[in-house]
Structure 1
Amino acid sequence: MHRFSVGAHVKLAIVGGGPAGLYLSILLKRQDPSHDIAVYERNPEGSTYGWGVTYWAGLLDKLRAGDPESADSVAEASVTWTDGVAIVRDQRTVHRGDAGFGIGRRRMLGLLADRARELGVRVEFEHDITGPDAPELADADLVVAADGVNSVLREAHADRFGPTVAHGRNHYIWLGTTKVFDSFSFAFKETEHGWIWCYAYGFSGERSTCVVECSPETWTGLGLDTRGEADSLNLLEKLFHDLLDGHELIGRDRADAAAQWLTFRTLTNRAWHHGNLVLLGDAAHTTHYSIGAGTTLALEDALALADALRDHTDLDAALTTYGKRRRAELVSAQSAARYSAQWYENLPRYMNLPPAHMFALLGQRHSPLLPHIPPQLYYRLDRAADHLQPLRRLKRWLGPHLARATHSRH
């Protein structure tokens, strides 16, 4: 039986140096500086996939409660926006919203790694852990699989964790741009092969993220399935010229290679721990990128796991509590992500609306009601519900009932 207690010599091995793994090491070192904690990351320091990540103010409050120093560093390195902007065909519309934040993924990882080292964590880059039998894990009291959606530690015990993967229909590509956006921006372009669209947001004073998405029919119709990266970026720059204002898109600098188009994988696991091995972040769950919650949910995993280890001296009880808590807390986010992905997969249903109405329903894409009500009628009901208390009550009542009914069919 593994036990955790203040002052006891506890050895922890965290496999994966993403935001969740690094932040967990910070939290656990703060709880007890005597813990022996190592983070093993297979990639070189400073190399990371993706461009920027998004989060909202509520996350900063949680991070400050866990470790004020790293939270302040992340906040200072972030950019913020309040407006949403959409270009539909060639018409522009603006929506006022809550403040959102963006930070470069590489910048965030650098800040968290520096803070972890400052507290005494061993952060070892270019150190690949190839499986649960690795010697670095042999005498660890706790092994944390924070090694992403393709987790080798999870897959070695797939029968115990019970992973399930659902593949999305649409194709997407994760790009950067030299255009610095001061609002969360969308562009929807109609081609002879169907719609293609882009989400864009700033994450520094020099760069922004652009995620381009389209249906399989549009992807093949435009030849994006066969074009090299340079040719693909050239076509996308022309399609989204009014969004980019003449700025370039940035890929992987592999002009002759195929562009890295993906389909999204939604991962869930039946169990989150096996023995002294526990899942964290994308190794445990993924939610569609269109709700912008991946990094937030991973950091919340770290907070919940640290809480459970603090509150329970028995490791199995701690890990059981952590898994139950996070699976329950993820239900609403996973539901929102599922409906959001489906909204985009059924995009043509909404594109004949006036652009302002379409953009309003874009903001409502998490609603379980929306797929079952004609879009223009839903828009009118939603506007009316802002003024009529009975309709607001009906909307609140119908939403959970339809969500449960739909969830039971999946």
Structure 2
Amino acid sequence: MKVVCVGGGPGSLYLAILLKLQGRGRDITVYEKNHAGSTYGWGVTYWPDFLTRLAAHDEVTARAIEEHSVRWSDGVAHVRDRITTHHGDEGFAIGRHRLLEILAKRADSLGVDVRFGRPAPQLHAELEGDVIVAGDGARSTLRDQHAQHFGTRTGLGHNRFIWLGTTRVFHSFTFAFVETGHGWVWCYAYGFDGTHSTCIVECSPETWAGLGLDVRERADALKLLESLFADVLRGHPLIGRTDTDGPSQWQQFRTVTNRVWSRGNLVLLGDAAHTTHYSIGAGTTLAMQDAMALARALREPDPLPAALVRYERERRRELLPLQSAARHSANWYENLTRYIHLEPHQMFTLLGQRHSPLLPHVPPQLYYRVDRAVEHTQALRSMKRWLGPRVARMLQNK
């Protein structure tokens, strides 16, 4: 079997590894238009159960990723001048650059032909392989050639956000909410390599424009954000990307969905197939889980169309609760003023519950009181877990 992966992100590289582990004789090529070592982004997050899944598929890769990751077990929220800490939320982070380096090295050791700095042929028809994998991101060129067949739909989120780095090393997953004369602005920050942290800044479009972030040059915008988050940054700078032009690289989150994920021998993977709001920190892990499912499907002796249908069906089923959680999480931040004036410990509790489909429909203080009561009663906890998905489906069908 000859497989060609377009796009050298974590999903494509991990798929190439898994396919080679199934049989060294397989011919696997990965095209990545950027040169090795050049990547956007800072750190990516994942959770303990993901390490378990990685180890079940390839222990070598799992050990390397764990070795180069940092771990946190607390969540911290800064609201104005008050700080709230929640213990026991274990998570991991690894630099995106390091993750790609690990995956590319492992792929190369298995005989995968990884072609950095080599854009793939532009047209699907020009790619020669039994399976062509479109792993080239939310703006996938391969997918868009057949957008009508795939039923591709794209929507933009309401808020503006920007991915930044900082030399302040955060040892807990940290949230900071700052009130300005034009509304609230907030950040999510977490360390990933012992020397740097990711710092994602978000705000409403009204706040973004009111602060002049829509027109400020990059350096000026970073200085303003450094002053707003001075207490959290403790004198450390914010660092922007250097791989794109423009004032300050602000974005609206791009939600991508597709009616189907395959066309003939072409199949979608990762963000080309689906995107999940960054506030649940799952984009990279979901792409690599796509790779696990696609590799399993291609291992079976079934005809290719049946294998690709099985892959799509499995992943849609697994993604459904996560995508619902991501939508509710994004909605929570887009309606921050509904929660921000609660006591900090109450707001932090509801921040942790932002994935719930019930939260937007219950007064926040009432939800908090009920949630605290539920946590002390096993029967009520079970009812809450049972009720949540059913309410979500009911609201979606209205």
Is residue 204 of structure 1 aligned with residue 193 of structure 2?
yes
Q: Which of 333, 350, 362 does residue 344 from structure 1 map onto?
A: 333
How far apart are the structure 2 equivalents of 1:79 and 1:393? 33
How far apart are the structure 2 equivalents of 1:362 and 1:307? 36
- CA drift at 1:278: 0.4
Q: 1:256-271 to 2 correspondence within 5 Å?
A: 257-271=246-260
Q: Which of 340, 344, 347 does residue 358 from structure 1 map onto?
A: 347
Query: CA RMSD of the aligned region, Å?
Result: 1.4
Q: Which of 31, 34, 52 does residue 40 from structure 1 map onto?
A: 31
- CA drift at 1:387: 1.8
The answer as to whether partners of 1:130 and 1:152 remain within 8 angstroms in 2 is: no
What residue in structure 2 maps to residue 373 of structure 1?
A: 362
How far apart are the structure 1 equivalents of 2:73 and 2:93? 12
Q: Write the deviation string for residues 157-196 of structure 1: whole angstroms up to 9, x where unpaired.
A: 1111111112110000000000011000000001111100
Q: Which of 200, 218, 221 does residue 229 from structure 1 map onto?
A: 218
Q: Which of 56, 59, 67 does residue 50 from structure 2 map onto?
A: 59
- CA drift at 1:66: 1.1
Aligned partner letter, 1:300? Q
- CA drift at 1:98: 2.8
Is residue 408 of structure 1 aligned with residue 397 of structure 2?
yes
- CA drift at 1:254: 8.4
Q: 1:51-200 to 2 correspondence within 5 Å?
A: 51-133=42-124, 135=126, 137-138=127-128, 140-200=129-189
Q: Give the SS at the match of 1:210.
A: strand
How far apart are the structure 2 equivalents of 1:59 and 1:24? 16
Q: Write the deviation string for residues 208-235 of structure 1: whole angstroms up to 9, x where unpaired.
A: 0000000000000000000011000000
What residue in structure 1 maps to residue 381 of structure 2?
A: 392
How far apart are the structure 2 equivalents of 1:187 and 1:112? 33
Q: Which of 306, 313, 331 does residue 302 from structure 2 map onto?
A: 313
The answer as to whether partners of 1:193 and 1:217 remain within 8 angstroms in 2 is: yes
Q: Write the deviation string for residues 116-161 of structure 1: whole angstroms up to 9, x where unpaired.
A: 00000000011112533464x13x1110000000111100111111
Q: Write the deviation string for residues 362-384 of structure 1: whole angstroms up to 9, x where unpaired.
A: 00000001000000100000000
What residue in structure 1 maps to residue 317 of structure 2?
A: 328
- CA drift at 1:99: 1.4
Q: Indicate how the Cα distance of structure 1 residues 150 and 403 shifts in structure 2: closer, same or farther if over 3 A, else same.
A: same
The answer as to whether partners of 1:309 and 1:318 remain within 8 angstroms in 2 is: yes
Is residue 238 of structure 1 aligned with residue 227 of structure 2?
yes
How far apart are the structure 1 equivalents of 2:24 and 2:179? 57
Q: Which of 240, 264, 282 does residue 293 from structure 1 map onto?
A: 282
Gap regions ≥5 residues in structure 2 = none
Q: Write the deviation string for residues 248-268 of structure 1: whole angstroms up to 9, x where unpaired.
A: 000024899400000001111
What residue in structure 1 maps to residue 262 of structure 2?
A: 273
Q: Indicate how the Cα distance of structure 1 residues 267 and 255 shifts in structure 2: closer, same or farther if over 3 A, else same.
A: closer
Aligned partner letter, 1:79? V
Aligned partner letter, 1:378? Y
The answer as to whether partners of 1:229 and 1:255 remain within 8 angstroms in 2 is: no
The answer as to whether partners of 2:277 and 2:330 remain within 8 angstroms in 1 is: yes
How far apart are the structure 2 equivalents of 1:268 and 1:225? 28
Aligned partner letter, 1:401? R
Q: Give the SS at the match of 2:170.
A: coil
- CA drift at 1:20: 0.3
- CA drift at 1:407: 2.1
How far apart are the structure 2 equivalents of 1:47 and 1:256? 16
How far apart are the structure 2 equivalents of 1:308 and 1:255? 37
How far apart are the structure 2 equivalents of 1:378 and 1:391? 14
Aligned partner letter, 2:376? H
The answer as to whether partners of 1:131 and 1:156 remain within 8 angstroms in 2 is: no
Give the TM-score taking structure 1 as reference length: 0.95
Q: Give the SS at the match of 2:371.
A: helix
- CA drift at 1:386: 1.3
Q: Percent identity?
A: 62
Q: Give the SS at the match of 1:366.
A: coil
How far apart are the structure 2 equivalents of 1:352 and 1:24? 46
How far apart are the structure 2 equivalents of 1:204 and 1:364? 28
Q: Give the SS at the match of 1:187.
A: strand
How far apart are the structure 1 equivalents of 2:245 and 2:322? 38
Aligned partner letter, 2:282? A
- CA drift at 1:84: 0.3
State the number of aligned residues.
Answer: 398
The answer as to whether partners of 1:175 and 1:211 remain within 8 angstroms in 2 is: yes
Give the TM-score taking structure 2 as reference length: 0.98
How far apart are the structure 2 equivalents of 1:262 and 1:146? 21
